[in-house]
Structure 1
Amino acid sequence: MPIAVPFRPLFALLFAVLLALPAQAEEKKEGALPPDVETALSTLLADAPQGKPDPGASTLDTLLRFVATNTKPAKSVRPESRPQGSGAYLKDTLNVPLRKLVAYMLDPSVPGEAIYPSAVRRNAWLPGSPLLKNASGLIDATFPPAAPLVTRGLEYEETTPDTSSGCYYSYKLNRLFVLTAYEGRTAFLSVSIMPLQSSVGLRGAIVGDDKDWTYVYTPEKGTNLAMLGWAETYLYGSASVSIFMESAPGSNKVDMYFFKWAKAGWKGSNVVKTSHITAGLKRFTSGLRQVMESPKLPPVKAIAAKASELKSLSEADLRARLNGFGSHLAKQNADPLDGKAFRAVLDNGAYPATLKREDAIAELMKLYMRQQMGTLPAAVAQQ
């Protein structure tokens, strides 16, 4: 499943959470979690790559017990900094059954950009990922499972533009998924860690409201920040442990708990603060909620069929289907779209022709999702 996340995710959970101000030093705060919880988080991150041991029951139980019984506000639940940067924590709730969420997140035929539209431009599971063969073992499992079920994958992911800097990045993620039981409830864990730093940040922009999932991507290095357009930025590290657990046995609600670390900046400096990470997590959960709680969400099979159809089209057909979208974007000129880098890809409806084949497919997938859910204005409808 492109990704990663459908959580891939996680989330897919890797969004550009970069920073607003440059000269701020990396936050150095001690963690506020019990030592056994920190150990459990470290173990899961270490076990994410293929070939590593599957996490043991004690590791899973320690972490699940903590999130299920913790009564402190999220801002007081502060994980220790790691090589991947400062850490943050967020809790939220999704009004869907866990089985439905797992089906959309794990099915490799469902592109991540369809499920995480505000965080992911596109993603794809790389060949050899075990998940490509055994995802169904978790999707179709008895809830709660009698023993932990595990799968892994390596995915390519590209982010949407950051809300502050406009930068977007691409990278690979080692991903670990675990389906397990906790006191009669079913829990689904998604663990991710970057093995290498990202590509250099390129300039992009959010068009209108972020909830519209309309973005512009340019091939130019740099940011949209005043006096920092020159900065060549990177995601130096990113890791996450995301937990989705039934609110009660068989509940139609899912409690979500996110532990996230990120390190980004330029020339080796890290300008990511906990507040930036938290804002990125909220952006991610907001987009996920838009999709998963929509009464018009297409079935998994329909999304998979659409993805297959788009992949079968020629580049000429793909771009032709984006003509309406390109014409709509050409009319937009609000800052920063009035800048030279953006006009070079937008004027005269040229945007579809600037997209790589995979990016055109991902753009059409997002337009399809908006169309199906009734949020696509006629002005940006496909032709």
Structure 2
Amino acid sequence: MTPTLADAERLDAADPLASFRDRFLVPDDPGLVAYLDGNSLGRPPKATAERLAALVTHDWGTRLIRSWSEGWMELPFEIGDRLAAAVLGAEPGQTVVADSTTVCLYKLMRAAAAMRPGRDEVVADRGNFPTDRYVVEAVAAECGLTVRWISPDPAGGVTLADVVDHVGERTAFVTLSHVAYRSAWIADLHGITAAAHDAGALVVWDLCHSVGSVPLDLDAAGVDLAAGCTYKFLNAGPGAPAFLYVAAALQDGFAQPITGWMGHAEPFAMGRDYAPATGMRRALSGTPPITGLIGVDEGVKLVAEAGMDRIRAKAVALTELAVTLADDLLDGVGIGSPRDPARRGGHVTVTHPDAKTLSDRLIAAGVVVDHRPPDGIRIGLSPLTTSFAELHRAMTVFADVLQMS
């Protein structure tokens, strides 16, 4: 039997995370039926607005440049450690918040290539997010590497068997997304990392669609290097800085390619030659983006309070409801995500030959989704801000839009 709106409302009444919706700003937009794109840009927390106002009036407005020595300089590391504890499963001293995901991935891939001299191949996913593929190609060209591409099922993702088939004694590093941006396929983090290590290679993980959605245990998995954004499930704000994770055992050999003054052992010595700092400070390049860091900090606090186990449980329940409603209500639409919830992250992609037109019509009807070429419509389900009733109303609108097309 197809779940009803009343069924969805009962799920909301029993939802232990329901109260978190009140911790976010809700737009005065009567035309908005549902926001199902929180996996691209999360809603703004009320605490972030308050914290930014205080930053402008006090830390920046009153203390001015003195705030650098009164705490700003350490924010990338302090917030990085809080992020690591809340969502990465990582001990302190291995994570720093800085730059964009693209820049972070570039730093990690160049460092990984340098840490495996004599190896001339990199294994990557042909279906990965464009940035990842573009950075792989650039690093390969700069370092004289050959890319061995894996071409996975678009409705799934890279498997352990795929990686085993592609790695070898020439592999410098493997780079993959833990959760596929299109299908939400969850890769085998532990198994793939171990397989790469068995071949003597490193792994660079992109965690953009994992962080704040799927529990992680980077230290236990033996992960080498990882990066991810903070403006999706961490709700840190548009363009908020990303993060880098470098396992403690690799930090002494980590030579990142964008050497700036903040990564120097003595930034304010203004020395003639570059000398890398110890620990994660060497991963920095330029001046930390304080306003963006505030957004990350408040987003991490909310996720830490909610707890990743509860967030994951709700993500599974939301995606299960989305799949069921898609099967029951959406004629002519396929499922472009794994049906096994254990293999599916925090969004569901449905497929249709005219996906772009349908996406535009859905947005015009008040259901905000996004289109992923060639035929995907991605339904993003953010556990702290998406309700079951909101999802049900959206899928009902989706069915109406289909009937009119």
Greater relative contact order structure (CA < 8 Å, 6+ sep): 2
The TM-score normalised by the length of structure 2 is 0.31
Bigger proportion of residues as strand: 1
In the superposition, the TM-score normalised over structure 1's length comes to 0.33
Q: Which has the larger radius of gyration?
A: 2
The answer to which structure has the higher helix fraction is: 2
